[in-house]
Copies of this chain bind each other. A is one copy, B any other.
């Protein structure tokens, strides 16, 4: 009878879709990985701190100890960022009752591909050695690659449950490419500062994903609404993701800031902003229900908004109370977003946002960009000290005559560019993804692992021991 139901449903569905990715997925993985190997072979080498010549370089540069290798400044933060990318984003998206394999598995796949492509793209734009035409990578490159990947995983949140793995790979390929250009313009050409990536990671990534979701609008998505929700233990799994993101966000925002006080201050600011966000999220979540009950969706997502919003300004002299204020506001705005804006966007703007990234990344990212612009414009030698101002805003070389007020303008310009790249890029890539060749899910079967995964039997009870083993129909492993 189940099969019969399914057949009927297939008939009334206007376009029966083929979700077989047996040719396309292996092809994409193999071809792209081989291309990566070739390009890495041509372009990528170790930099002087990870090369075996370090011993000579160290002596030459009069560096007193191995501990001053950048590895020891960055590695703990790198590992925390790595956990955020794979466990944080991966598990945060396991909240759907039957999409946990895809959430954590496709997150794994696109992150593993994305970081390789990011090393190349970011390398070409930012660290190509003019002497030999090679990209020299170090720990900082790996962190930047993880950052770049984060923007695509944010975009994944908007389309969660609706795209095939092949589409996700294509989305990642273009996302990384756009990110690298975007980042080059914002950080290098207009010299905006963006330590935690409120603009380049969150604003760009969120609008990129939302635009793709808008282009791929599914009017009949409510045919899958039985699967678009959580069960008790899938919500607990999602809390693993939430907490690892929340705990390690100070590492995210401080991972590539200046050695010394820069990393120290960015970690403190982020820690405080996040703490403050939790309280206002709980407050609004409780207020929004008739009996004051809390909603897991808010706790899983909005508690993180403070970390997003403090991203750009994390290394600035925000002051501890400033961080708390940012977190305070973002907890409110993000939770209200889940209550009012997400349903509004779905109904009137035709944007289906599975994870609510508009509330967690887009709005807080824009707020973060604005905060960055304002605090940069307000910076003064009194607060930062002469050397501190130069270090924090990198007023050196070509930018040595920059002043804080103009820096604020550049920050604002950076925010606009991130927005444009996100929306524009998303629309173009959305067009590409609308082609009917990618094997995406039919409207009545979204949010379902069954399309792309061999699933184990469903029941959880232990079958009794049978006399006749031939009668058993359990999966053979």
Contacts and interface: CB of A to CB of B under 8 A. Distances in A.
B287 A26 contact: yes
A440 interface: no
Most B CB within 10 A of own CB, among A294, A303, A475: A294
22 contacts: A5-B466, A22-B292, A25-B286, A29-B280, A33-B283, A40-B272, A52-B388, A52-B392, A56-B386, A66-B260, A79-B80, A79-B247, A79-B250, A90-B243, A98-B232, A101-B235, A101-B294, A113-B279, A137-B268, A225-B469, A233-B233, A236-B237
A403 interface: no
B229 A261 contact: no
A466 B223 CA distance: 9
A119 to B, nearest CB: 8
Interface in A374-419: 383-389, 391-392
Contacts of A100: 232-233, 236
A452 B286 CA distance: 9
Nearest to A473: B226
Q: How many copies of this protein are present in the complex?
A: 3
Interface of A is mostly: helix
A309 interface: no
B474 A33 contact: no
Contact of A286 (B22, B50, B293, B459): B22
Interface string A243-287: 110111011000000011101110110011011111110111011
A251 B454 contact: no
A476 B248 contact: no
Contacts of A68: 65, 67
A131 interface: no
A437 to B, nearest CB: 14
A287 B20 CA distance: 11
A172 to B, nearest CB: 12
A26 B291 CA distance: 12
A49 interface: yes
A139 B264 contact: yes
Nearest to A275: B112
Interface string A354-376: 00000000000000000000000
A129 interface: no
Contacts of A452: 292-294
A436 interface: no
B303 A265 contact: no
B137 A320 contact: yes
A377 B293 CA distance: 53
A344 interface: no
A15 interface: no
B291 A20 contact: yes
A124 interface: no
A321 B40 contact: yes
Given A268-B137, A388-B56, A235 B456 contact: yes
Interface in A204-243: 222-223, 225-237, 239-240, 243
Given A26-B286, A29-B280, 12 more contacts: A6-B464, A29-B282, A38-B321, A56-B385, A58-B260, A69-B264, A113-B279, A139-B267, A229-B456, A231-B457, A289-B454, A294-B454
A328 interface: yes
Q: Which 10 A-B pairs have the closest CB atoms?
A: A22-B292, A52-B388, A54-B261, A112-B278, A66-B260, A29-B283, A66-B259, A41-B321, A26-B283, A40-B321
A98 B231 CA distance: 12
A340 to B, nearest CB: 15
